[in-house]
Every structure is written in C-alpha cells, then in structure tokens.
Chains A and B, each alone.
Chain A
C-alpha cells in the first residue's frame, strides 16, 4: 500500500512538472541593443474581464490601453487631446454635435476593417450594457450618426465641454461587432490595439501577444503579461528575483530596497489621488457644521501622513486633484488649533462620530484621527468594513455612514468634480445635494470661457472649505519599482499607465 501511494504521488508530481512546464528566456535583437521578448508587469489588483465597456477602473484601463483604441486620446504631459482612431474633429456652435474624421487604414485584430459603423456599434453597446462604464454615456450621448465610412457625428443630449475626455477613456474603446456576435464572452477582447489578448485567467494573469497588423508604430517586445500579485512584499521580491519587470506600488516601507538594488529603479510620480475625510452631511453628526470644523482643526495632518503612508504623501489643501482642471487652494489649509477646535465642538450637539473605513492606510489614518479627536473630547469610533459593505453603506441613496475616509483618483477634466459633488453620484461620500454646488457644476459643464469656468470650480472649493463637507488630508505619492532596462511606459498620475510601448533592454 505504501509503495502504491508513493508511486502514485511521484506520478502526480511528474505530471505536474510536465503540465506546468518551464519557461525559457528569449530575446530579440534590434541593431546593437537587445530586448526582452516577453515582458511581465505585476500589480496588486485583479483583472476580471477583457471587455473594455463593462468596467472602468485603473487596472482594467491599463489593459485596454494595450488591447483597444479610442477615437481620441489625452496627452497628460502636454495637457491636450490627440488623434487616435480619429484624425480630426469639430464641434458645432452650441457644443451639442461633434463630428469626427476617422483613420481609413485600421483593421481589428480579427482582420475586420475599422469603419464608422464600428463607432456607432460600440457606443450603442456601451449605452445598453448597464455597466459601471455605461453611466458615462447614458444621459450624455443622444445618438451616433454615420455620415460616411470614415466620418461620424455624435449628438449630445446637452452641451458638454468635457465630452472629448469621456471619448478618451478606455471605456469608450471601439469593439468589433462580428467578434462579439460570434463569441459574446471573448469577442469584446478584439480591438484595434497593439496587443492582442490571448488568455485571461481572472485573478491570475492576462497574456497578450503583439498584433502584427497594428496600424501604428510597433515595439520589439513580443509578449506582454499583466500578472496579479496581491501581497506587496511578494510582488517586490518577484521584481528583485527577475520574475517580473514592473512592480506597481511596492510597500512604502520597502522602497529602500528598490533604491539599494543596482538592477532596479524607483519611479515616483505626483499622484492625483486625494485621500480625504468625508462627512455624511445628510443626517447625524456629519450634518453639524460645528462638529465638522472642530474635527478639521484638531487633526494633526503631518501625523496622518506619517502614520498612514509612512510620510510618503503631500498635504492636500483642497480635495480636488492637483492637476485637475479648476484646482484652487487660495483659502489656505485648516490650521491645527485645539482651542479653536474645542470652541467649535462646544457649539455642537454631537460628541461622538463613527468613521467607516476599509483598508490599511485609511485604517491607520482613522486611528490617528481618533487619537487627535480625543484631545478635544470628541469620541471617534472606528468601524472597519469590507469594500462591498462600505460601498453599499455609503452609496448616495443609502447613505447610512456617519463619516468615512475615502481616496479619490482625480482625472484631469473639470467635470470629474461631479463624482465628488454631484447628486446621485455614489462617489459623493458627503451625500451633498447643495443647490448652489449643483448649479455651479452644471454651469461648468457647459461653459467654454476658460476664466469663467475656473471661477465656478473655485467657488465649489471655497464652499467646501467653509463648510468642511470634505476635509482634505493628503495626496498619496505614486511609486512604481521597475527593472532598470524598462522604458516606453507612459506614466499617469491617475495610475492608468500606458504599457503598449514597453521595452526591456537586457
């Protein structure tokens, strides 16, 4: 029996070895420089789908920037829109119709030719999907008109200055009708991008190979894998071992190892992610302005940055993204002043508030705020929730939280503020439905006069500072550890980096 068992186990293990296989290193040569053929990027968030129109978040957007194309793209370094699948575009006078000329030399990865009909199909599909992505289109785009094979007209419900920005988001990627009709699951993977998705194991990896029929410039890299590695320490070790070439967000505490390692490089970019304290202003303690201001003046912001992100962050004055259109901080910060805070607290009927949080950095920030508040006699209760429970609890309609610490990654366009301030937005964690703010947002959405538009957005931020609906805490610092030979990535403050041109020299 024992022998049988042992031999069985041996057979299993040998099978496993053969089954899983080993991977050999291969290189391509271009002139003098040698490039790695297969590049691997590791991240701590999971990719669950290859359908660009079904989801809108950082890790998926990185994938879709490789596999799909949008009509226009946004160059954040020069702050301007650039042609991608569209060559030029034109607005009508009242900003309700956008006419775009399209490239005529593009084919999909399945060989289909790209035409205006694909644009119409893609945008109609977005609107019908009821996904996280579709809300960007529903209520904004009225319909799409095909003028000819390479001209398309987008008719909007009402004027929207930031519409081009929506078109540049990966969720507005162009997909292929034939592919989707043939295979509803894998069909949406087919795009016009430089990389063809060949395998997607959710919670493990996405594997892509270079699309040889790509219409733009091509890189020497042949294969690109986006791998999920949840534990930050293990992810960095994988980079140090040479198992991966890019490690997104190494633990703040371990950045030193990257700097020490001669084979690695640490990329640090200013982030547009703001961590802020949000009160539920619709009811309970958060609706009391005195309590809000008391808290705003008793928080030791330096300690929060030190404790929550090991000092790797910069104090935020406004809760807007620093690179977001209309950013203003002329009112200055909330001074750390315990006497002032005590005075505010005396005027308040509430002496206790609950903070709902989920993960580590926010949890640490909450603990420091809890200790700070204690000094003025304000009791802070920390409630640790799972992501799904917290999202549901703090959604605009439910709004059962008293307060929470939230981090919002800001995009560059002004109307992104609707996420934080707009009625019905689930990111409106303050549950604000202030009439003046709503009016200002609407004015900003339709205004083409730069100075006036900035004035509207300034007023929103001034109002927030006065009423302390949101207390800005800090901007997180973005860091990425890479193999020294890596180049060609376009780094973005909103973290949806563009990997498509990645090369690794060896």
Chain B
C-alpha cells in the first residue's frame, strides 16, 4: 500500500481515491446497493416489468394504514424531538457546574442509552399496564378507584401518551450525552466573564451558553430527527398496529402480509423523508457549519 501511494504521489486525485476506497466500497455495498435493490423489489414484477402495484396497495388497500402511519410518525417526531431536546438542555444546564454527586447523576441519566428499545418498551408497558406500578401507586394513594387503561384500541390517546413518554425517556439520553459532551468543551471562564460583566443567569444562558452549544444542538437534532422517523420497537410493544407508524407497517407487510414489495416502498419512503430532512437541516445550519 505504501509503495503504491508513493508511486502515485504525483497524482492527488488518484491518491485521494485510493485513500477513500474503503469508505466508497463500504457505502456502495451497504448503502447504495440496498437502496437500488429496494427499488427493484418495490417496482419490478417477477417477469421483469415495471409495476406500481405495491404503491397502489399501499395507498388504497383496506389492509394498508399508510396515511395513519405517516401521520403518527410525523406527530411522534414533532412531539418527541423538541421535548427531549428541551429536557436534555435543562439537564445540561443544571449539571454545568461541578458539584458533589454530579458524575453519579450523569451516569444515571445515561442509563437508557444502554437499553435496547425493546427493553425500554417492555419497562414502560410493565409500568403503565392495568396492574402495573403506576396504577398500583395511584390506587394505594387513593387518587383513583379503578386502574387507568393506557392500552387497547379504545384508549388511543393514552397509548400515544405512553409511547411519547417511553420514547422521550429512551432517547433523551443520547441528546443529553451529545449536549453534555459539547458543554464540557466550553471554557468556564467564558461564562464567568459574562457574569463579571453583569449578565444575569438568563442572559448568560440565552446569549452565551446556548449559542455556544449550537453545534452540539445541531448534531443532536439531526441524529434524533432522522432516528425518530425509524421509530418502531417501542410503538410495536405498546400499541401494536393500534398506532401505526411507517417502520411498523414495513415490518407488518413482511411478517403478516408477506408483501416484500410493499415493505420496500415503506423503506424507500422513510429513506426519502430522512434525506429531505437531512437536506433541510444542512441548509439551516450551513452558516454555523462554515464557521
């Protein structure tokens, strides 16, 4: 390898290509090929002709919950991402100054990061079910007489609330860790300077700390928004198809309907939404990225 690089050192383009080749090969095999192949699965019939039958099924079959899935996926993303970002930001602000026990609090806040989303869904199911911890507590405290039913088709709003809580709990941790890491890089003197020059706590947050956290906030938002559109396991455990989401419908199409073509269309739709949102974020953040 060294000798090849040495020989072509006069040609920067060739050198760059060689150095990038592992990445290019990786992207080709694990990203480009599956995307191309999913289009083939979605829109090519067995005899090799192009067909839109899968799309037709998705949009008009009584078995399809596409529009609801789209609506709920967007709704969940729109609820979960801002709330968890705000919560994580509050935690970072509270934990900005060193105090006794701070490290312990950081570790505890990071615990959900280590749990699989299935486990997270099960924990919240166990907690919120009719005989679960929450209902027992409320009954023992005398606040309610009969358990609150979070689950079942008749309780869609409460099921949605349960999913929202579980998702916020599960994924606030990653946002927190990203923001906390970003905050560690901020020189404490920068905030002390603002304090000496007369800035109140609010002004220091609004004009110093949060603007300086902007790169971390952007990274966390991009990661979380994209992942929010892949929401699946927590929803599947807590709601099944009572609350349909895009990734859940893809899974259902394969396992129950054996419609690989429909599942592929769902995959493509999720990919397209992710790509578009990625573009929007990059546009929005371009100014700071340049700096």
A binds B: no
Interface residues in chain B, defined as those with a beta carbon under 8 Å from any beta carbon in chain A: none
Interface residues in chain A, defined as those with a beta carbon under 8 Å from any beta carbon in chain B: none
